[in-house]
Every structure is written in structure tokens, then in C-alpha cells.
Amino acid sequence: MSMVYLKSPSTDPAFNLALEQFVFDKMDRSHEYFMLWQNNNAVIVGKNQNTFGEVNPIVIEEKGVKVIRRLSGGGAVYHDLGNLNFTFIMDAKEASDLDIKLFCQPVASLLQELGVDAQVNGRNDITIDGKKFSGNSQYLKEGRIMHHGTLMFDSNLDVVAAVLNVAGDKFQSKAAKSVKSRVTNVKPFLKEDLTLEEFQEKLVSYIFDEKSIETYELTPKDMEEIEKIKVERYRQWDWNYGKSPEYTVQKERRIEGCGKIEAHMNTKDGKIVEVKFYGDFFGVSDHAELSEILVGCELKKETLMKVLENIDIEKYFHGIAVGQFVDILL
């Protein structure tokens, strides 16, 4: 299966997420796709996150940062023009495939060739000296996988620290320096002085193994469809923030190998009336299905274990066991 290269003509985050969705949903499935794109001043939140709890609204307004929700799970990331985003779209080997490293390793390998000690660490990070410069996530649907990641080449780290309202359990302090100490740019570690444009060229050449590169130029009809997706989804407040009702009970737990899960529950007479899940976890199925299953359940361990005994919980929360999930609810 041949790979096609596509570079976005826009730095509008709503357009670029719509472009990804268009390539994933509409373009010829007999090809694989590699995309490069940049967003100007944006926070991109994971599909499963509570947007209100992930960003600093004062900084968002002051700096004119756009907040957009993506299709994939994982955590919130800040994009500016010092950051480069990459996307792979191809057939998944199997519906449950969440192999982050497969797509991250080529980026790390290129940087190693350039003299940078980049390593694929954790469940979705690429790091230098233990500091993160690339966060990655994936979206699977109908046998296709979309993997996308950030490459902080020369981003404004002060803004990164200020704009993300980081949860206390992820970092010891909410202070900006706590975030800044955990992230870094690529540029200071390069042995040669490369511009972002020069680095892009090297990345494309490396991904295509210096073979002839088949490129795709968006047609006017493509642009029309992308604009439609942008307007109908990525420009909508309901998609990016959502109408979040108040909940009586809010549970939060970080599970090693899974991520943070928040369970926001409305209960009555010891039973779940409504439950919604937020967090930076990954999953291949919509957790709203699980929410429906849980409505009406008594908040007792034996009852919940019985209801979930035939449910593959990892479809909704990758890397967690049923018992761990029930412990969160209780």
C-alpha cells in the first residue's frame, strides 16, 4: 500500500482537525497518508476530556487561543507556530491496535541521527533528557487508524505553562514552572542549526526513506467538504466544550498504564442516575455506551461486577481491569 504526503495549507486549528477527519473518512482507503500541519495558538483537548478543567480561561482570552476538541483520546496540548504536528492514517492491523511506539519511533530515530538523544517513553510521549517534546494519540474506526503527534521544535514554553490548567494529580504543583520543567523544545539539542522548515524537509525525507514522494493537493471540492466539517463540528461550542451539568459525585483516579479517569455521577437512592467519564485515557469504543449500561445500577461492588462481567472494559479504558474500574466508581 503506497503512502501519500499531504501538507495542510492552513494554520487554523478547526480547519486542520477537519482536514484530518476528511482524509480519514473520505479519501481513498487504498492509500496510507502522512500529513504535516501547524496550528496558530490553540489548545487541542482529547475527546474524553472535560475542557473546562484543562485550560486556563483567563490566559485563553488574553492570548486569543482557540480551544478545539479532537477525535482521539489523550491529554490537552498547546500548539503554536513553533510546533509541528504529524499524522499517519492507514489500515489498523486489528480493531484493538493502539501501538503508539510504532509511529513514534521513526521520529525518535531521525532525531537520533541528528545527534539528539530522543526516546519513546511512557504510553504516548517522546522525550529528551526525560522532558517531553512530543505527545501522541490515536483514533480507530472501521479498521482504519489515525495517529497524530506534536513536535515542539521551538514553541513558547512560557505560554505552554500558562495556558494549560494542569490537574494536581498529574504534576505536584499547578505552578507554571512545574509544567515547564517537564517539557522542552527540540531545537536547543540539535547539533546543527536547523530552521523548522529544514527540519520538516528532513522528516518527510526520512519517513519516505528518500524514495520519490507522492503528494496530494486539495481540490476546490475537497476544500468545500473540509469547510463543511469545520463549521458543523470543530467550530461548535457543543463539541469543543459541551453542556456539562452539575454532578452530585465526582471521582478521580490515575491508573498506571491507563491514565486519569474522572467519573462524574448523579445518584439517587444508591443507584446511578447518570454518569459521564472524562480524562486522558485511550479507548477504541465510545464510553457513552458504558454510561448507558451503568444507569440504574446500585453502587455496590457485587452488583457492578455482575453487570460488567461480560463487558470488555479495555475497549473503553485501555490498560485497566474491571476491578480497578469498579473501585473508581466506589
Q: What is the pLDDT of residue 77?
A: 92
273 and 185 belong to one structural domain: no
Q: Examine the fold and report which residue of 189, 208, 240 is the final residue of a domain before the chain moves on.
A: 240
Q: Examine the fold and report which residue of 220, 240, 260 is the final residue of a domain before the chain moves on.
A: 240
132 and 32 belong to one structural domain: yes
272 and 123 belong to one structural domain: no
Task: Write out the DSSP string of 256-324.
Answer: TTTEEEEEEEEEETTEEEEEEEEES---SS-HHHHHHHHTT-BS-HHHHHHHHTTS-GGGTSTT--HHH
Q: Examine the fold and report which residue of 211, 240, 269 is the final residue of a domain before the chain moves on.
A: 240
234 and 265 belong to one structural domain: no
Q: How far apart are CA 136 and CA 146, in angstroms?
A: 11
Q: What is the pLDDT of residue 95?
A: 43
Task: Write out the DSSP string of 228-253.
Answer: HHIIIIIT-HHHHT------SEEEEE
230 and 279 belong to one structural domain: no
Q: How far apart are CA 182 and CA 55, in angstroms?
A: 17
56 and 112 belong to one structural domain: yes
Angle between helices 301-308 and 322-329 (to 10 degrees): 140
Q: What is the pLDDT of residue 162?
A: 87
Task: Write out the DSSP string of 80-120.
Answer: -TTEEEEEEEEE-SSTT---HHHHHHHHHHHHHHTT--EEE
Q: What is the pLDDT of residue 98?
A: 57
User: How confident is the prediction for the chain on average, in pLDDT?
Assistant: 87
Q: What is the CATH number of the domain that holds 313?
A: 3.30.390.50
Indicate if the pLDDT at residue 176 is higher than 70.
no
- Give 55's DSSP letter: B
Domain range for 291? 249-329
| Cβ burial 121-135 (10 Å sphere, 16+ → b, else e) | eebbbbbbeeebbbb
Report the number of distinct structural domains present in the chain.
2
More confident residue, 165 or 113: 113
289 and 228 belong to one structural domain: no
Residue 41: CB atoms within 10 Å: 18
Indicate if the pLDDT at residue 5 is higher than 60.
yes
Indicate if the pLDDT at residue 246 is higher than 70.
no
21 and 148 belong to one structural domain: yes
pLDDT-based confidence at residue 102 (cuts at 50, 70, 90):
confident
Indicate if the pLDDT at residue 66 is higher than 80.
yes
pLDDT-based confidence at residue 101 (cuts at 50, 70, 90):
confident
Tens-digit pLDDT profile for residues 265-286: 887 777 889 999 999 999 889 9
110 and 183 belong to one structural domain: yes
Angle between helices 301-308 and 287-294 (to 10 degrees): 130
More confident residue, 194 or 176: 194
Indicate if the pLDDT at residue 166 is higher than 70.
no
Q: CA distances (Å), 30 to each of 26, 95, 204, 328, in order? A: 12, 18, 21, 42
Q: What is the CATH number of the domain that holds 192?
A: 3.30.930.10
pLDDT-based confidence at residue 170 (cuts at 50, 70, 90):
very low
SS3 63: helix
Q: What is the pLDDT of residue 75?
A: 87
Indicate if the pLDDT at residue 97 is higher than 90.
no
Q: Which of 33-47, 74-88, 139-153, 266-280 has the lowest mean pLDDT?
A: 266-280
Beta pairing, strands 144-152 & 131-141:
antiparallel
Q: CA distances (Å), 180 to each of 124, 128, 132, 164, in order? A: 18, 14, 10, 11
Tens-digit pLDDT profile for residues 211-234: 789 999 999 999 999 999 999 999
61 and 127 belong to one structural domain: yes
Indicate if the pLDDT at residue 63 is higher than 50.
yes
**What integer is the mean pLDDT of 195-220?**
93
What helix, strand, coil percent values describe the chain, rounded to 5? Answer: 35, 30, 40
138 and 275 belong to one structural domain: no
**What integer is the mean pLDDT of 55-66?**
86
SS3 212: coil
Helix (H) or strand (E) holding 152: strand 144-152
Tens-digit pLDDT profile for residues 15-52: 999 999 999 999 999 999 999 999 999 999 999 887 87
Q: Which of 35-49, 135-149, 153-167 has the lowest mean pLDDT?
A: 153-167
pLDDT-based confidence at residue 55 (cuts at 50, 70, 90):
confident
Please work out, in degrees rounded to the nearest 5, the angle formed at the alpha carbon of residue 136 by the alpha carbons of 135 and 140.
160
Q: How far apart are CA 70 and CA 35, in angstroms?
A: 16
68 and 214 belong to one structural domain: yes
